[in-house]
């Protein structure tokens, strides 16, 4: 019983349940809990860039082979493009087969104001994307600094201080994660209180289709990717279950991103691979977002009885291959990217986005969870592909999952730190 009450997963799950109940029975009070979810995410985001900086810089200094760093980066981008394109195609095919938009009567749906999103629509620019994405800037700076320091004669002293900083950054993160249940409670309470379960009913078929498609993608495509290296997807999901609940409660993959990087290292992925793939994947490997964008576009076409030709569908896939890459770096990302896509293909009314406002928040959890799992799988696959994976560490991590979920003792002790941090 004592272990149960010191288990973070237990408290996060309890908080999500409590938030949902408060949102249903006391919606006015629940909406006021939004600051708890947003506040927790903002605090966790403080750790993202320092952890990326420290992980990549230390990893590159330790790797020594700079050609391999470039090889991993190039291979990661190729992987991202192939898998996200596959996600897009799956979304388009499933939406056209199930046709969730057929029979939807728009006059009976509660519509929202999309002006705030439509006003942000602009032509996609890779230059603007880079300048708006601080994570990519930190990634590039860390790559350059790590390369320079790897040639520096006195690098051992630098490594010592960077390791020292990493140790206490992770300790501080563990302290913050103790408050994850509060963030999850606030996020879930706000969602249910603001939009209500009744909002889901008119578009239940769309929601069911999106969730089912993402489930097929996770257990089908991502499961096969891990299986290629004899790794169980189910074991991996059990290993990160605590983080998945935090993502579910807060509707944000950012809330658990630093924790994911630490856990991937602990389960055997090398520091350079984790440092390169996870932050880059946050911008370029948004599997859940791409599935949702493709399905939402086809859904709106069906609602307005717009018949898309094969050529238009191929154009849609091509446009989304570009615009979806900016989804992590744009405020109101999902709707801004969707609005820009509808504007580009010019055959589906942009005003149709108003139909999705009520249920978008409920689908954001599925998007965030799929993105989160996808980036972890990409890192594991690339680490194995580059022979930068310690299978003994993975077996130990999978066999001792509860050690990482004790919020009173384990998370404040040295044994929770990555092995590389303990030198």
Q: How far is CA 158 from CA 151, 273, 329, in A?
A: 12, 21, 32
Nearest Cα neighbor of 250 from 62, 12, 21, 30 is 12
Nearest Cα neighbor of 90 from 378, 298, 251 is 298
Beta bridge partners of 389: 269
Nearest Cα neighbor of 305 from 245, 270, 264, 349 is 349
Instruction: Name the residue ranges covered by the structural domains of the chain.
Output: 2-422
Q: Is the pLDDT of residue 238 over 90?
A: yes
CATH superfamily for 2-422 is Sodium:dicarboxylate symporter (1.10.3860.10)
* Percent share of the chain, pLDDT over 90: 27
Two tokens at 418?
């990555």
- According to DSSP H, which parts of 108-203 are helical? 115-118, 126-132, 134-150, 155-177, 180-195
Contact between 110 and 209 (Cβ < 8 Å):
no
Cα 235 off chain centre by = 19
Nearest Cα neighbor of 418 from 158, 47, 166 is 166
Q: What is the mean pLDDT of residues 403-416?
A: 49
Query: How far is Cα 406 from Cα 418, in angstroms, rounded to an integer?
Result: 16
Q: Which pLDDT band, with edges at 50, 70 and 90, does 217 fall under? A: very high
**Rounded (5°) CA angle 216-217-220:** 70
Q: Which pLDDT band, with edges at 50, 70 and 90, does 236 fall under? A: very high
Nearest Cα neighbor of 353 from 318, 414, 304 is 304
Q: What is the dihedral of CA 334, 337, 343, 344, to 10 degrees?
A: -140
Predicted local distance difference test score (pLDDT) of residue 420: 39
Whole-model pTM: value is: 0.79
Q: Which pLDDT band, with edges at 50, 70 and 90, does 413 fall under? A: very low
Contact between 340 and 325 (Cβ < 8 Å):
no
345-372: pLDDT as tens digits: 777 877 777 778 767 777 888 888 999 9
- Which has more pLDDT, 29 or 196? 29
Q: Which pLDDT band, with edges at 50, 70 and 90, does 334 fall under? A: low
Predicted local distance difference test score (pLDDT) of residue 393: 94
Predicted local distance difference test score (pLDDT) of residue 403: 66
Instruction: Indicate the average pLDDT of the chain.
Output: 81
Predicted local distance difference test score (pLDDT) of residue 127: 65
């Amino acid at each position: 019983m004592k272990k149960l009450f010191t288990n973070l997963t237990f408290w996060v799950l309890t908080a999500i349940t409590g938030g949902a109940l408060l949102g249903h029975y006391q919606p006015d009070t629940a909406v006021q809990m939004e600051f708890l979810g947003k506040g927790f995410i903002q605090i966790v985001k403080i750790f993202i860039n320092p952890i990326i900086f420290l992980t990549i810089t230390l990893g590159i200094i330790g790797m020594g082979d700079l050609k391999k760093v470039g090889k991993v980066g190039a291979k990661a981008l190729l992987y991202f493009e192939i898998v996200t394109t596959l996600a897009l195609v799956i979304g388009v095919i499933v939406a056209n087969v199930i046709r969730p938009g057929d029979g939807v009567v728009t006059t009976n749906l509660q519509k929202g104001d999309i002006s705030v999103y439509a006003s942000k629509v602009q032509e996609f620019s890779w230059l603007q994307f880079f300048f708006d994405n601080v994570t990519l800037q930190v990634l590039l700076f860390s790559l350059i600094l790590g390369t320079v320091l790897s040639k520096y004669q006195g690098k051992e002293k630098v490594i010592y201080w960077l390791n020292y900083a990493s140790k206490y950054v992770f300790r501080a993160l563990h302290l913050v994660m103790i408050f994850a249940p509060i963030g999850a409670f606030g996020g879930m309470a706000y969602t249910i209180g603001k939009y209500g379960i009744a909002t889901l009913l008119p578009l239940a078929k769309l929601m069911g289709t999106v969730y089912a498609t993402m489930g097929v993608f996770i257990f089908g495509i991502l499961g096969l990717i891990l299986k290629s290296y004899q790794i169980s997807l189910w074991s991996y999901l059990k290993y990160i279950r605590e983080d998945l609940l935090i993502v579910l409660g807060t509707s944000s993959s950012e809330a658990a991103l630093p924790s994911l990087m630490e856990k991937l290292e602990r389960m055997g992925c090398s520091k350079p691979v984790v440092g390169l793939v996870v932050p880059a994947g946050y911008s370029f490997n948004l599997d859940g977002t791409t599935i949702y964008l493709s399905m939402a576009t086809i859904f709106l076409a069906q609602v307005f009885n717009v018949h898309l030709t094969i050529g238009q569908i191929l154009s849609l896939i091509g446009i989304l291959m570009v615009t979806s890459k900016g989804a992590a770096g744009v405020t109101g990302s999902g709707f801004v990217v969707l609005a820009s896509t509808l504007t580009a293909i010019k055959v589906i009314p942009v005003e149709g986005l108003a139909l999705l406002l009520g249920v978008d928040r409920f689908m954001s959890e599925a998007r965030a969870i799929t993105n989160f799992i996808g980036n972890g799988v990409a890192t594991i696959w690339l680490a194995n592909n580059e022979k930068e994976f310690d299978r003994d560490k993975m077996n130990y991590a999978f066999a001792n999952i509860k050690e990482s979920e004790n919020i009173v003792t384990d998370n404040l002790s040295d044994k929770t730190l990555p092995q590389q941090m303990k030198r």
